[in-house]
Amino acid sequence: QNDPLVIFTPSGKRGRFPAGTPILTAARQLGVDLDSVCGGRGICSKCQITPSYGEFPKHGVTVAADALTAWNAVEERYRSKRGMIEGRRLGCQAQVQRDIVIDVPPESQVHKQVVRKRAEARDIVLDPSVKLYYVEVAEPDMHDPTGDLERLRNALREQWDVTDLQIDLATLQALQPVLRKGGWKVTCAVHLGSRAYRPRIMQVWPGFHDAPIYGLAVDLGSTTIAAHLCNMQTGEVVASSGIMNPQIRYGEDLMSRVSYSMMNAGGAAEMTAAVRAGMNTLFDQIASEAGIDKTEIMDAVFVCNPVMHHLFLGVDPFELGQAPFALATSDALNLTAAEMDLKLHPSARIYLLPCIAGHVGADAAAVALSEAPDKSEDLVLVVDVGTNAEILLGNKDKVLACSSPTGPAFEGAQISSGQRAAPGAIERAEIDPVTKEPRFRVIGSEIWSDEEGFAEVIATTGITGICGSGIIELVAEMRMAGIVDGPGLIGSAEQTGSDRCILDGRTYSYLIWDGTADGGPRITVTNRDIREIQMAKAALYSGARLLMDKFEVDHVDRIVLAGAFGAHISPKHAMVLGMIPDAPLDKVTSAGNAAGTGARIALLNRKARDEIEQTVRAIHKIETAIEPRFQEHFVNASNIPNAIEPYPILNS
Ligand code: FES
């Protein structure tokens, strides 16, 4: 007679086991993903399964009502104390008697798939660095001189196969009373470590401790610092928050901060202290929003550009301000929160993704992790648009990377009526090609006309300026309406047929909105604004084009626009402007904040850290500053859209 057959769904894994085998044991032997924190003692309920009964022609089995053993005392006790969903059993207590089909619900899977957010390119499989383990520790004995820690380590090794554990002094100091209070039964939070550092016991609680473990994914930008607080056992984002980077008072852009450190003794240290203090404020904010204590946060992942990276670490960014732009280290870093002055759990670890090169930072590595060009069958161009554009081009055979100094024009800076994307900013625009009249949408108000045609500007108050996406759309629309020519000159009223083109010094400006009668601003696009956008977009395009040269291709299969700003760029306008190479519009997508997504992937899946470290080692870095063709592309790309490169797909 054959042993009973156990079939697990949804994995489809199956095997025969002697009657009396607990379902948890069968799952482990078959490699089925079934969770357990208490090691099968009927305490944690993480092992819940749903047995199915009846006919299963697909699996070739009939499951009898007595296929599993009846409820035992442990299972009954759990059910009466905590309650269980109808039809569920504890996998560690229910034993197989006859052929059975077992469903493992998503919440009982260790490596659950985290629900994918819109615009995310890949699934996140939960496999966090910090895990809880319940253990029973041998009591001390006059005949056995080992210490309590050694016996705890033995228990973790024997019961959970976790070895080579380190412990912080503070955790050690609390250990003996906790073990005794728990009656030698304790729950440990263990940071599982990686190739680079050893696992570590972070905290020990008496008895069975069942509370969420939290982690932070932080995108440290030069303008803003944004963080997501995640429940590391479910993958859920429980709170998100952001603050302005307090380093802004030392300089708006990266190079001015590097100059500040060069010109002022102790300047770099001041900026390090400012950003770390800002982080602590942000962490207070996010913890209070989630209603938790920030000492419950045990792990944090950071992504940032190289200058932010160095200043955060307390490394003077001096070398990044001059050729050959040497990084202090490009490796990923595993540090403690305490050594970075971050007030989280006293044993919290932090992880910084690797940098790709002196100008291509951990933020670009996070984009590579999120968008995975190295796994793409088709050739994908990934552009992370910010004050510095980070550009990746590649497929599963090869990935190239570079950065290009676009400057802050795409964020509305250095534009005469420019402003950040905030209420009052024009964010979308259209210009009627016949009447040359503009129509626009303003953040925080309903300005965009729903009427057919757009002959006039809808009267409004509260317009304050133009943000990055607005200026891109306006310049592209001005080009399409014949208000500005290929080289970037705004024509006169006679040349363009629009009274909105007004003489402004020695060049013309295009009047967008005149609110002066109501005490509001007069908003124009000046020829200087056009010039700023030309410079920024030419830098972006030339970087992308240079990578295409290196790849020996003249087109790409698809384009991904990343960065918070990338989410707001209209692909059509970006292409009309010649910011990005020609491609079918439906092949241009936005990945939203891909760097932030990459940070979240690295937070929730520890193997992703090894993966990105390997990927980054294989990426070929191109330094635009020393490539003669960059200049050539830049000159051509200064035209709108380009002096020599046609856009046949866009025009078709
Ligand atoms: Fe903990 Fe079953 S494994 S209750």
What's the pLDDT tens digit per position in 65-105? 999 999 999 999 988 888 889 999 999 999 999 999 999 99
Say yes or no to pLDDT of 460 above 70.
no
481-503 in b/e form (b: 16+ CB < 10 A) is: bebbeeebebbeeeebebebbee
Q: Which of 498, 371, 487, 375 is nearest to 436 (CA)?
A: 498
The pLDDT tens digits of the residues spanning 465-499 come to 998 889 999 999 999 999 999 999 999 999 999 99
Give me the pLDDT at residue 424, please.
84
From 33, 35, 88, 90, mutation site for ligand 1 pocket: most ligand atoms within 8 A of C-beta: 90
132 ligand 1 Cβ < 6 A: no
Give the Å distance between the CA of 611 and the centre of ligand 1.
Answer: 32
Q: In this structure, which long-range contacts are made by residues 41-46, counting pairs with CB atoms below 8 Å and at least 24 apart in sequence?
A: 41/74, 41/92, 41/134, 42/74, 42/75, 42/77, 42/78, 42/90, 42/92, 42/93, 43/78, 43/134, 43/208, 44/134, 44/208, 44/210, 45/78, 45/82, 45/84, 45/90, 46/108
Q: What is the mean pLDDT of the chain?
A: 89
Interface predicted TM-score (ipTM):
0.99
The finding on whether 233 has its CB within 6 A of some atom of ligand 1 is no
394 & 428 share domain: no
- Say if residue 222 is in the same domain as residue 335: yes
Clarify whether residues 439 and 486 are in a common domain.
Answer: yes
Report pLDDT for 196. 75
Burial 387-416 (b: 16+ CB within 10 A, else e): bbbbbbbbbeeebbbbbbbbbbbbbbbbbb
Mutate to test the pocket of ligand 1, among 32, 34, 43, 76 (most ligand atoms within 8 A of CB): 43
State the average pLDDT over residues 124-131: 90
Looking at the fold, whether 343 and 248 belong to one and the same domain comes out as yes
With a cut of 80, say whether residue 4 has pLDDT above it. yes
* pLDDT tens profile 308-345: 999 999 999 989 888 888 999 999 999 999 999 999 99
State the distance from the centre of ligand 1 to the C-alpha of 75, rounded, in angstroms. Answer: 10
On the question of pLDDT at 648 being above 80, the answer is no
| Helices (H), ranges, 6-49 | 23-30
Q: Is 44 in the pocket of ligand 1 (CB under 6 A)?
A: yes
Instruction: Decide: 425 in ligand 1 pocket, CB within 6 A.
Output: no
The answer as to whether 593 is a domain residue is: no
The CA distance from 110 to 106, in Å, is: 9
Confidence of residue 118 (pLDDT cuts 50, 70, 90): low
CA distance 601 to 169: 30
| Amino acid at the residue 223 | T
**Which of 45, 159, 185 to probe ligand 1 with, by most ligand atoms within 8 A of CB?**
45
Stretch among 181-195, 208-222, 253-267, 444-458 having the lowest mean pLDDT = 444-458
Mean pLDDT of 533-558: 94
- Report whether residue 49 contacts ligand 1, using a CB cutoff of 6 Å: no
Q: What is the CATH number of the domain that holds 227?
A: 3.30.420.480
**Together in a domain, 164 and 278:** no
108, 140, 171 - which closes a domain: 108
Tell me the residue range of the domain where 44 lies: 5-108
Q: Are residues 220 and 333 in the same domain?
A: yes
Alpha carbons 131 and 212: distance in angstroms, whole number: 10
Q: Assess if residue 321 is contained within a domain.
A: yes
Report pLDDT digits (tens) over 165-197.
999 999 999 999 999 999 999 999 999 987 778
Q: What are 20-59's pLDDT values in tens digits?
A: 999 999 999 998 989 888 889 998 899 999 999 999 888 8
Residue range 565-593: mean pLDDT, rounded: 87
> CB under 8 Å to 222, separation ≥6 — which residues?
245, 247, 253, 254, 257, 305, 307, 308, 386, 387
Phi, psi angles (nearest 5°) of residue 618:
-90, -10
Question: Residue 463: what pLDDT?
Answer: 83
The domain boundary residue, chosen from 173, 206, 239: 206
pLDDT for the residue 457: 43
CA distance 410 to 467: 8
Assess whether 576 and 608 both reside in one domain: yes
* DSSP type of residue 87: T
* Number of domains within the chain: 5
More confident residue, 645 or 379: 379
Residue 453 has pLDDT above 50, yes or no: no
Structure tokens at 23: 């379902």
Give me the DSSP letters along 533-593: HHHHHHHHHHHHHHHHHHHT-S--SEEEEESTTGGG--HHHHHHHTSS----GGGEEEEES
pLDDT band with cut points at 50, 70 and 90 for residue 373: very high
Report cis status (omega within 30 of 0) of the bond before 581: no
Residue with tokens 């003692």: 41
Tell me the CA distances in angstroms from 54 to 66, 91, 359, 568, 588, one per residue in order: 11, 20, 62, 54, 50
Alpha carbon distance 123, 107 (integer Å): 17
Banded pLDDT at 125 (limits 50, 70, 90):
confident
Residue 368 lies in a domain: no
Does residue 337 form part of some domain? yes
Q: Which ligand 1 atom sits closest to the C-alpha of 35? A: 3
Distance of alpha carbon 210 from alpha carbon 610, whole angstroms: 29
Give the position, in ligand 1's atom list, of the atom nearest the Cα of 48. Answer: 2
pLDDT band at 115 (very low <50, low <70, confident <90, very high): low
In a domain, 104, yes or no: yes
108: pLDDT strictly greater than 80: yes
Question: Same domain, yes or no, for 506 and 635?
Answer: no
Q: How far is the CA of 135 from the centre of ligand 1 (A)?
A: 12
Q: What percent of the chain has pLDDT over 70?
A: 95
DSSP 115: P
Q: What is the mean pLDDT of residues 605-610?
A: 93
What's the pLDDT at 560?
94
Chosen domain end from 480, 506, 525: 525
Q: Is residue 499 part of a domain?
A: yes
* Cα–Cα distance for residue pair 135/138, rounded to 1 Å: 10
Residue 506 domain-assigned (yes or no): yes
The percent helix, strand, coil of the chain (3-state, each to 5) is 35, 25, 40
Residue 333 neighbours by CB distance under 10 Å: 17
User: What is the value of pTM for the model shown?
Assistant: 0.84
pLDDT band at 454 (very low <50, low <70, confident <90, very high): very low
Same domain flag for 288 and 427: no
Beta 380-384 vs 389-395: how paired, if at all?
Answer: antiparallel
292 CB near ligand 1 (under 6 Å): no
Decide if pLDDT at 138 tops 50.
yes
Based on the fold, state whether residues 193 and 221 are members of the same structural domain. Answer: no
Q: What SS3 class is residue 521?
A: coil
Averaged over 243-272, what is the pLDDT? 89
Say whether both 383 and 242 belong to one domain.
Answer: no
Region 296-303: mean pLDDT is: 96
Residue 120's pLDDT is: 62
Q: Is residue 366 part of a domain?
A: no
In which band, very low, low, confident or very high, does the pLDDT at 413 lie, cut at 50, 70 and 90? confident
Q: Does the beta carbon of 439 lie inside 6 Å of ligand 1? A: no
**Residue 121: per-residue pLDDT:** 60
Residues 146 and 24 in one domain: no
- What is the model's pLDDT at position 459? 41
**Residue 119: per-residue pLDDT:** 55
**Alpha-carbon gap, residue 544 to 391, rounded angstroms:** 6
Find the mean pLDDT for residues 507-516. 90
